[in-house]
Chains A and B, each alone.
Chain A
Amino acid sequence: MHETDMTKALILTIKDWWEAQPTPPNIEKIHLLVGEFTCVEPRSLQFAFETQTQNTFLSGVELVIKDIPLIAFCHPCQQQYWPKIGEQYACPHCHSPMEDIRSGRELKIDRIEYSENNSLASS
Chain B
Amino acid sequence: MHQTVNAALGVNLLQANQTEANHNRDHFDAWGITCFNLMSSPGAGKTVLLEKTLSVLSSQLNLAVIEGDMTTELDAEKLRQSGVPVIGINTGRSCHLDAKMVAGGLHQLQENYQPETFDLIFVENVGNLVCPAEFEVGEHTKVALLSVTEGDDKPLKYPVMFQEADCLLVTKMDIAPHLDIDINRIEENVRQINPNVTIIPVSAKTGEGLTNWFNWVYERINQNSIATH
- A residues near B194, Cβ cutoff 8 Å: 97
A46-89: which have CB < 8 Å to B? 85-89
The verdict on B80 contacting chain A, using a C-beta distance below 8 Å, is: no
B1-59: which have CB < 8 Å to A? 1-17
Contact A107 B95, beta carbon cutoff 8 Å: no
- With A2-B134, A10-B13, A38-B134 as known contacts, state yes or no: A117 contacts B2, CB within 8 Å: yes
Q: Is the interface of A mostly helix, strand, loop or mixed?
A: mixed
| Partner-contacting stretch, out of B109-117, B139-147, B152-160, B204-212 | B152-160
Contact A107 B13, beta carbon cutoff 8 Å: yes
B56: shortest Cβ distance to chain A, in Å? 33
Q: How many residues of B contact A (CB 8 A)?
A: 36
Q: How large is the interface on A (under 10, 10 to 19, 20 to 34, 35 or more residues)?
A: 35 or more
A1: shortest Cβ distance to chain B, in Å? 7
Residue of B nearest to A3 (CB): B131
Contact B96 A108, beta carbon cutoff 8 Å: no
**B interface list, Cβ under 8 A from A:** 1-17, 93-96, 98, 130-131, 133-135, 156-157, 159-160, 191-195
A11-50: which have CB < 8 Å to B? 12-13, 17, 25, 28, 32, 37-40
- B residues near A5, Cβ cutoff 8 Å: 94, 98
Contact B95 A86, beta carbon cutoff 8 Å: no
B16: shortest Cβ distance to chain A, in Å? 5
- B residues near A32, Cβ cutoff 8 Å: 13
Contact B94 A108, beta carbon cutoff 8 Å: no
Contact A109 B13, beta carbon cutoff 8 Å: yes
- B residues near A85, Cβ cutoff 8 Å: 159
Residue of A nearest to B135 (CB): A2
Residue of B nearest to A72 (CB): B193
Question: In whole angstroms, what is the CA distance A60 to B160 when docked?
Answer: 33
- B residues near A98, Cβ cutoff 8 Å: 192-193
Question: In whole angstroms, what is the CA distance A101 to B160 when docked?
Answer: 12
Q: List 7 A-B contacts (CB under 8 A).
A: A6-B14, A9-B14, A9-B16, A113-B6, A114-B5, A116-B5, A118-B1
Question: In whole angstroms, what is the CA distance A108 to B18 when docked?
Answer: 13
Question: In whole angstroms, what is the CA distance A111 to B3 when docked?
Answer: 16
Question: In whole angstroms, what is the CA distance A25 to B7 when docked?
Answer: 11
Across the A-B interface, the 9 shortest Cβ-Cβ residue pairs:
A97-B195, A2-B131, A90-B192, A89-B192, A107-B13, A109-B9, A118-B1, A112-B7, A109-B11
